[in-house]
Chain A
Amino acid sequence: MHFLKQCTWLLILLCSAISAHAQQRVSGRVTDKEGNGLPGVTVRIQNTNRGTVSDIQGRFSLEANVGNTLVFSFTGYKTVQQAASAGAMNIQLEEDFANLDEVVITGLATSVKRSNLANAVATISAKELYGVAPAQTFDAALSGKIPGALITANSGAPGGGMSVKMRGVTSIFSNSQPLYVVDGIFISNVSVPANLNIITAASRAGNEQYQDNPSSRVADINPDDIENIEVLKGASAAAIYGSKAAAGVVIITTKKGQAGRTVVRARQDVGWTQARKLLGMRHFTEQTAFDKGGAAARDAFIAARNAGKLFDHEKEMYGEKGLLLNTNVSVTGGDERTGVFFSANRKDEDGIIKNTGYSNNSLRLNVDHKLNNRISVGLRATYMKTSADRGLTNNDNNSVSYGVALSAAPEYVPLLPDANGNYPLLVGGQNPIETRDKMRNNESVNRVITGGEIKVNLQENTKTNTRLIVRGGVDYFHLKTEAIFPRSLPFMKDNLEGASIQGNTSNLNSNLAGILVNQFAANTKLNFTTSLGATLETNYLDLIVATATNTTPLQTNVDMAANAALQQFRTKYRDNGIFIQEDVLIMDAISIGAGVRFDRSTNNGDYKKYFVLPKASFSWNLAKMPFWKMQLINSLKIRAAYGQSGNVAPYGARFLAALPNNIGGNGGVLVDNQLGNPDIKQEKQAEFETGLDVSFLNGRLTLEATYYNKNIYDLLIRRNLQPSTGFTAQWLNAGDLRNQGIEIGIGAIPVNTKNFRWNTHVNFWKNKSKITKLLIPPFPMGAFGNSLGNFYIEEGKSATQIIGTLGATPGIGVLGNSEPDFQLSTLNEISFLKNFSLRFMLHWKKGGDNINLTQLLNDLNQTSPDYDDDKNGNGIKDGDDRNTAFGKGEAAGFVQDASYVRIREIGLYYEVPVPRNKYITGVNIGASLNNWITWTKYNSYDPESSNFGSNTLSTATSRGSNGLSSGVEVMPYPASKRATFHVTVTF
């Protein structure tokens, strides 16, 4: 509070201190090389924040001193500097094919031109994100677009849920998902389970982690509002974000209003979604039915066949074509002092399973305003309401989830209700059609993300200027999970007698930062940028789950029940940081940076202790040196960067808690099986990266190559204790992990004519991880035990190796690795016949194994579609072969290559020529396919799958996800693909 008061006082002081100069009006016109006026070009007086934006004809005018340097910048064009002259100025901008003049945010308040950048920062533009073939949610739209990242969908359930791992696994047990920052506001991406475990008992045996398949909160963001995304992949780029940046930072900037004509844009998408792949049903014969279930099964098969009642249950369950609707209206406008962006979006989608679907309604208002030449404010406010009906999928131990139950339903058994609405009973599982029709598993979110920024020019002259930036924001959401199982479901009978499980989570993230930035131009060839700041981030999460059982028929309120149980879980943390950073730019060619951040967190054992996180960077663009004569190469940059970041200990790691354990109406507490560690500290990451960026032929061909070496020290490991101590686990800083990798990006414009232009980007990336030190014995983790395949953390080995029992030979052996050999993606845009544009993206993931237990469950129930095949030609059915191998304890069969080649996105758009009129300025129509074609040998629905999710909250009584375990598949919600038609009208 004290600080705010001072700040206000200071602002008043500053406002009154504005000095007046002898100025005049300078005006002119900005054009492209064909002489067409360029609207929206930013014109700024160097070293100040005074400026304007060109109008629709490219004209501009502003108050300036003759001789002042004006900077003209515009996305996609090279920046031009020119001295202000008294007469009309004519400025011609050249296209910047290699995006060398693109400005990249590198600090909390500082940015660097790409041509001087020392890190490989991935940038995703709005067009790349959402302009090809829109995915359902923002997080899904990132797939394949970030070189260096392994992005996997946890399941196909509506409402998202993605695992994003930048440059390998960055933590074994703790968070390995990146920090998301939207317009400077640190947003929450926690997944909160719906407590379906009481129904599915998924965590009862094999693995104590909850497997509820929750959605991820970053999916709430409307992708249509995003202007661009920058991805800081490791500590060398993200050190300034401190202890939250160990897994990388995704910096999202939303659209802004600009001076000029107000543009209203309306967009309508209509499409459908369907399963990417259906496995099919096993087709029985009298003999195979007999083999499966004896004479009774054979008779049932004969009766069903003769009556023509052999069913495709899988198609009934997963075969829906879901309608996709998306409507967006946005308004952009403003004048020299104020810019406004407003958007409203409504998305309504059905899933590929009946009674599942997703809706997202969002509103956004972004206002930027200059109070005067010294002070500007930016305000960001967005409200989102999302709702996801996610069905009941994933692993379970009560045979109720759709896939597990389907595996028990051969084609000759009926599942559909009769004329009276009575569902047949299924032997060996709960009739999944009945469950689907009667239950409800909904997650709904009301969320507000809002914040603002004040920039104050404290001082400016021709040599130096000093700015103060104060930025703060809050991200508040209320998540309601509602799982309703009416008592008419057969598995409720004589059991829970109906269940209504309602979770209420409220989460508040807030952050506040104050940063001082000084720029000092010692002379034209030497520039210094100094920044100094402090940050504060807090979080408070409060989860209350009410589980009511023995419910009144048709009622869902938790008090309409004979029994109710309550659970509450809260987390709270407060992190502080102080940082200082110095960047030196010499001759616009050599850039040297150094900084240090001091960080502390209440989640650490010692909450007062500051951790020191340094960074340093260097880049040298040889082509900008005076001696450079080679015309062919217009930019050649060598670069290196080093940085450290941290990852704070999980909440509660410090304590030995006593957990509620009641009996006989008496309240009791039982010692937790997790021993507290008062000395727990954060993981420390040190990353070094170096690279070479070359631009040929004036940017028509570019190459970006990066090598990185990322070491994570003091790994937070939830180690196993000898269980006879009474404790099974304890958080310990128990090892080191290294990730090494390369990222190569090639951009080219092979053809660039008036009627045909082809722009292509190819990215290749590869990562190798290794546990370099482990202070505790090697241990398995992450899946369901060694006989079903498991991850195994062992010194000297890959962090993601998969081991399992070997059958005949005792003991375990390495069976695979979930880390891909490499990934390759290519994004292409072909513009032709003036108004057509074809965009497509291909993604190849080579290698990387999954643990496929979907197949196991189908095999055990003898319902796998390929059960009767004999691909190895040994005269024994493949299904029998696999079951025999499993019986012998051979886990190798479950570890399967999850390579794929996928056409992630393909879209064809046509800019309809609109005759000049007063109202409509543009009409764009298009059609797109998302994830439509996949080539893979993986023997299940989709190679992307994670039974354990990512970023799932751990509570006092439930275990969430860890840093590793994507790629374990147990009866997921099958992945879907999308076909959409688009119309955009601009007014």
Chain B
Amino acid sequence: MKKHLIILLGSLIGLAACQKGEIPNLNSPIVDDAIRNGTKVKLDNLMVGLESGTRNSLATYYDAIGLIGREIYRMSASEPRYTKELMGDGALDNNTFYITNPWSARYRVVRQGNIIHDVVANATYLSDAQKKGYTGYTKTIMAYQLLMNLNMTYTNGVRTDVKDPNNIGPFKGYPESLADIAALLDAGKAELTGSEIAFPITIGATNAAAVIKFNRALAARVAIYRQQWAAALTALNESFFDLNGPFENGYFHSFSNKSGDQLNPLFLPQNTTSGEFRVATPYYVAQILPGDDRIAKATLRTEPASQLGLVSNRDVWIHKSNEAPVFIIRNEELILIYAEAKIQLNQIPDAIVAINRLRVDHNLTPYAGGITQAALINEMLYHRRYSLFAEGHRWIDMRRYNRLADLPNPRPGDKVWEKFPIPLTEGN
């Protein structure tokens, strides 16, 4: 009997160990594996994810900026903070979706970029030209992501050095952050030069030359933010800028119904009656010049939309289906950058050529206003407002020209924010 007991006890304890081995992640790849045992397919998957990730929380970003820039009203029956806090009623919360979601989505893409750099560093399977293609494009995207966050936090700044997650760099001021972003774009351009693009790209470029043009277009945008007008023109010359080309030439986020893909989050059908509205503020119509065809970007609703004293009878109508792309940068903006730089450099005739390109193509008569820098700046800002409506520029432009006070407040409690707070958890 005793012997049996011993066997039995042994078996009981053996039971605890009868299955062996670690259980791996069943659902998705592990980042460590991509770094340590990288292959080109794994790397390309990361590149696709990088591009895909640039679209996360995009609607929150555009809605927040559009609301503060008084371009749009975002009304939602179940989310009152659009029409309250973002319009200036109350205080901006540093721990809620309108700042935390886009902020972390952008930095997540930056993290992806840094991971890609680690993978590329170990990639014996790539040629040097290919490696430079990966890193040059990644840097361009990372710079763009940092710029979007800086647009929100402005003089509160961003962290530009986040390579080591255990030892991230400090917040830098607005000019310093912009300088770092410009340097990152330049580094990207340098690597792209003479490189080979060996991975799929969906932003509208297929080869290194096109990616360089995209990189330089962003550099031109950063240059005017830095008031480096000559540099803006230099960058434009290396970009896809075409004074006479189609306005809609450019680079974009694409969307589709395909499995695992995303739908355009900025699309809402016209005349929705649900509680979800993305409408043009009444000021859009009130201040547009007669005949300006850009009125078509804000179509008349059958019934006005209203919430908490905000009323509008026009839908924002720039994304016309849930598979429509969202432009990152397009030729119309580049023409405006050109005009702005020329005005600032006091090269008035060139500026007027560019302004007239916009006026004529938008069904207006050629420019007949004052030939002063001040008058032309007003003219240029008008076109930036209507040409780039609801594309995330108005608030930033008014801020650049110290004109936030000119933005209207529809209700007594409203005010125009200058910048978003740094997310609370950055203080951790």
Interface residues of A, Cβ cutoff 8 Å to B: 1-3, 6-7, 10, 13, 204-206, 293-294, 395-400, 404-405, 407-408, 425-430, 458-459, 466, 468, 490-491, 493-495, 512, 514-516, 532-536, 538, 549-550, 562-566, 568-574, 576-578, 602, 607, 652, 655-673, 675-676, 719-728, 776-777, 779-780, 784-787, 805, 810, 856-857, 860-861, 883, 886-889, 955-956
Contacts and interface: CB of A to CB of B under 8 A. Distances in A.
A536 B17 CA distance: 9
- Interface SS of chain A: helix, strand, loop or mixed? mixed
A777 B52 contact: no
Contacts of A538: 19
Nearest to B80: A860
Contacts of B80: 856, 860, 886
Nearest to A542: B26
Given A516-B12, A787-B93, A671 B30 contact: no
Most chain A CB within 10 A, of B93, B111, B158, is at B111
Contact of A663 (B8, B48, B84, B274): B48
Interface stretch (B254-262, B330-338, B345-353, B392-400): B254-262
Contacts of B111: 671, 725-727
Given A666-B48, A719-B428, A727-B108, 20 more contacts: A3-B14, A7-B11, A205-B79, A205-B81, A404-B78, A493-B269, A516-B8, A565-B260, A574-B23, A578-B13, A652-B27, A655-B30, A657-B29, A661-B48, A662-B260, A721-B165, A726-B114, A727-B165, A886-B84, A887-B90
B38 interface: no
A293 B306 contact: yes
Most chain A CB within 10 A, of B19, B78, B96, B107, is at B78
Most chain B CB within 10 A, of A13, A515, A719, A889, is at A889
Contact of A6 (B7, B50, B89, B114): B7
Given A671-B115, A722-B168, A206 B96 contact: yes
A342 B159 CA distance: 68
A668 B8 CA distance: 52
Most chain B CB within 10 A, of A468, A673, A780, is at A673
B248 interface: no
Interface size, B (range):
35 or more
A661 B260 contact: yes
Contacts of B91: 805, 810, 889
Contacts, number: 327
B257 to A, nearest CB: 4
B29 A427 contact: no
Contacts of A571: 26
Contact of A666 (B17, B78, B202, B322): B202
Interface of B: 1, 4-5, 7-9, 11-19, 22-23, 25-32, 34, 44-53, 55, 60, 76-81, 84-85, 89-91, 93, 95-98, 100-101, 103-104, 107-112, 114-115, 158-159, 162, 165, 168, 200, 202, 254, 256-262, 269-270, 272-276, 303, 305-308, 311, 321-322, 413, 423, 425-428
A857 to B, nearest CB: 6
Contacts of A533: 12
B103 A723 contact: yes
B428 A777 contact: yes
Contacts of A512: 15
Contacts of A784: 96
Contacts of A515: 12
A883 B83 CA distance: 13
A721 B425 CA distance: 7
Nearest to A578: B16
A662 B52 CA distance: 6
A489 to B, nearest CB: 10
Contacts of B76: 397, 399
Given A668-B47, A671-B49, A514 B15 contact: yes
B7 A534 contact: no
Contacts of B165: 675, 721, 725-727
B95 A723 contact: no
Nearest to A205: B97
Contact of B11 (A400, A514, A955): A514
Contacts of A574: 19, 23
23 contacts: A3-B14, A3-B15, A407-B77, A468-B8, A514-B15, A536-B15, A568-B27, A572-B26, A576-B17, A657-B27, A667-B260, A668-B50, A669-B29, A670-B108, A671-B111, A671-B112, A724-B107, A725-B107, A728-B100, A786-B93, A786-B96, A805-B91, A860-B307
A646 to B, nearest CB: 16
B162 A726 contact: yes
A663 B254 contact: yes
B84 A887 contact: yes
Nearest to B322: A495
A661 B200 contact: no
Contact of A662 (B12, B258, B427): B258
B4 A458 contact: yes
A429 B275 contact: yes
Contact of B85 (A495, A669, A787): A787
Contact of B257 (A534, A549, A569, A721): A549
A193 B115 CA distance: 32
Contacts of B7: 6, 10
B12 A534 contact: yes
B254 A398 contact: no
Nearest to A491: B274
A657 B25 contact: yes
B276 A536 contact: no
Nearest to B257: A563
Contacts of A721: 165, 425, 428
Contacts of A572: 23, 26
B25 A652 contact: yes
A772 B294 CA distance: 61
B48 A667 contact: yes
Contacts of A495: 269, 322
A76 B49 CA distance: 66
Contacts of B158: 724
Contacts of A398: 78, 274-276
Those 7 A-B pairs whose CB atoms lie nearest each other, nearest first: A726-B111, A668-B48, A399-B275, A494-B269, A664-B202, A662-B260, A670-B49
B90 A787 contact: yes
A851 B286 CA distance: 42
A429 B305 CA distance: 11
Contacts of B13: 534, 578
B257 A562 contact: yes
B389 to A, nearest CB: 21
Most chain B CB within 10 A, of A458, A656, A723, is at A723
A726 B274 contact: no
Contacts of A426: 273
